[in-house]
């Protein structure tokens, strides 16, 4: 039995359905991310797990216990909000120990638990400071320490790093994942940041319009998207519209603007109008034979990469080239473009179908 199970969960507000027939199982010790754009239902789902929102339908089970209608404080969960929700009039130690005090834990035991939590998030020695005396990253650590001090069965993170700058956010991804692994605590993260989800998660649930568009490991979600939405939301991608000419045992032959592409269909029953996808980093400038030729319309340097837009007969192709020290050809130059057939993906426009 899974540690956390959501079965047939829906949440409706009048005629609007925020979450619809949502099924999810989370294993003990797993780090799972609910990833999607604003309005996809990810935060509503987290709030139903936490007990702040009551489902319209369905059941939520935690470690074999039905908690669908249980009060939030009875669920044994730790929650870290986007705003951190720290008490400005309390010290760091007071904030971290607040929940323990509400449980009537003795002062000496509470002090030990607070010290352990602050040590975990590398804030030892800052217990007497107030939130206004801390940096954004430190305030976030206090919020995490407060949740961990409760020793929750389940840790819920609602976009806790969205207020941090890019460098600090990247550091916190690594730190928080290391803490989660060390404690073995089951964790669910809500985020709209694809890199955050892929960096930290064992699995990602890509959400779209109140449902799961794809549930898989970060690698599978990125390399083998199950739906057009998952393909376009998880990182950049080139999307080419075409028509299936024939379907062979291993690949589909797809006509795109007069050029036939051989695309692995991965068992999908694709036919008729389709979209062909390829990631920018899988497209290269051709040293020899080119699949197609075109002119560089845009060339941008971003440090570790060169980003190119090449006008071709197939349409505009976005290319990401690693920076090896020498710049690619200038804008306006004609270039050949190459890719491997195995790097192409094909999906029907309305979504992935079942296996043939």
If phi > 0 it is left, if psi is from -120 to 50 it is alpha, else beta; for residue 104 that is: left
CB neighbourhood size of 93 (10 A): 21
State the span(s) of the chain assigned CATH 2.40.50.140.
Answer: 237-347
Mean pLDDT of 197-226: 94
pLDDT one-digit tens code per residue, 246-255: 998 899 999 9
Mean pLDDT of 12-31: 95
Could you give the percent of the chain with pLDDT greater than 70? Answer: 98
Alpha-carbon distance of 294 to 292, in angstroms, equals 7
Within a 13 Å sphere around the CA of 140, how many CA atoms are in the beta-carbon half? Answer: 20
Q: How far is CA 23 from the centre of its chain?
A: 18
Residue 278 forms beta bridges with which residues? 238
Alpha-carbon distance of 263 to 275, in angstroms, equals 11
pLDDT band for 351, please (50, 70, 90 cuts): very low
Quote the mean pLDDT of the chain.
91
Residue 350: the pLDDT is 60
pLDDT over threshold 80, residue 303: yes
Fold classified for 4-228 = Rossmann fold (3.40.50)
Mean pLDDT of 27-36: 96
Residue 352: the pLDDT is 40
Mean pLDDT of 43-55: 95
pLDDT over threshold 90, residue 269: no
Are 131 and 85 in contact, with CB atoms under 8 Å apart?
Answer: no
Mean pLDDT of 48-76: 94
pLDDT over threshold 70, residue 356: no
State the span(s) of the chain assigned CATH 3.40.50.300.
Answer: 4-228
pLDDT one-digit tens code per residue, 323-347: 999 999 999 999 999 999 999 999 9
Mean pLDDT of 191-205: 94
Residue 61 forms beta bridges with which residues? 5, 66
Mean pLDDT of 188-210: 94
To which CATH superfamily is domain 237-347 assigned?
Nucleic acid-binding proteins (2.40.50.140)
Residue 137: the pLDDT is 84
pLDDT over threshold 70, residue 321: yes
Could you list the beta-strand ranges (E) of the chain: 4-13, 16-26, 31-35, 57-62, 65-66, 77-80, 154-158, 186-191, 203-208, 211-216, 238-247, 251-256, 259-264, 273-278, 284-285, 292-301, 305-312, 315-322, 334-338, 345-347
pLDDT one-digit tens code per residue, 119-170: 888 888 899 999 999 988 888 889 989 999 988 999 999 988 877 788 888 8
CB neighbourhood size of 172 (10 A): 20
pLDDT one-digit tens code per residue, 68-106: 999 998 898 998 887 778 899 999 999 999 988 888 889
Residue 237: the pLDDT is 94
pLDDT over threshold 90, residue 239: yes
């Amino acid at each position: 039995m899974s540690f956390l199970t959501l079965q047939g969960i829906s949440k409706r507000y009048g005629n609007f359905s925020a979450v619809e027939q949502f099924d999810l199982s989370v294993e003990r010790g797993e780090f799972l991310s609910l990833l999607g754009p604003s309005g996809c239902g990810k935060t509503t789902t987290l709030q139903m797990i936490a007990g702040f929102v009551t489902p319209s339908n369905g059941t939520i089970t935690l470690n074999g216990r039905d908690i669908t209608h249980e009060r939030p404080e009875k669920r044994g969960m730790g929650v870290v909000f986007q705003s951190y929700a720290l008490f400005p009039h309390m010290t760091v130690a007071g904030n971290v120990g607040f929940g323990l005090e509400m449980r009537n834990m003795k002062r000496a035991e509470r002090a030990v638990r607070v010290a352990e939590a602050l040590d975990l998030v590398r804030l030892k020695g800052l217990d007497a400071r107030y939130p206004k005396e801390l940096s954004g990253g430190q305030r976030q650590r206090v919020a995490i320490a407060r949740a961990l001090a409760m020793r929750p069965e389940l840790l819920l993170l609602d976009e806790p790093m969205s207020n941090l700058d890019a460098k600090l956010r990247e550091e916190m991804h690594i730190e928080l994942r290391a803490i989660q692994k060390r404690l073995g605590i089951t964790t669910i993260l809500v985020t709209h940041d694809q890199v955050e989800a892929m960096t930290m998660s064992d699995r990602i649930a890509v959400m779209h319009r109140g449902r799961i568009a794809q549930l898989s490991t970060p690698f599978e979600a990125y390399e083998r998207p199950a739906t057009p939405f998952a393909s376009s939301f998880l990182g950049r991608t080139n999307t080419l519209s075409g028509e299936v000419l024939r379907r062979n045992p291993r690949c589909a032959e797809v006509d795109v603007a007069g050029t036939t592409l051989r695309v692995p269909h991965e068992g999908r029953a694709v036919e008729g109008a389709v979209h062909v996808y390829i990631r920018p980093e899988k497209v290269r400038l051709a040293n020899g034979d080119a699949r197609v030729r075109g002119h560089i319309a845009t060339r941008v340097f971003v440090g570790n990469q060169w980003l190119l837009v090449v006008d071709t007969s197939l349409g505009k192709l976005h290319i990401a080239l690693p920076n090896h020290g020498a710049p690619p050809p200038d804008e306006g130059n004609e270039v050949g473009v190459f890719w491997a057939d195995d790097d192409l993906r094909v999906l029907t426009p309305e979504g992935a179908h079942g296996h043939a």
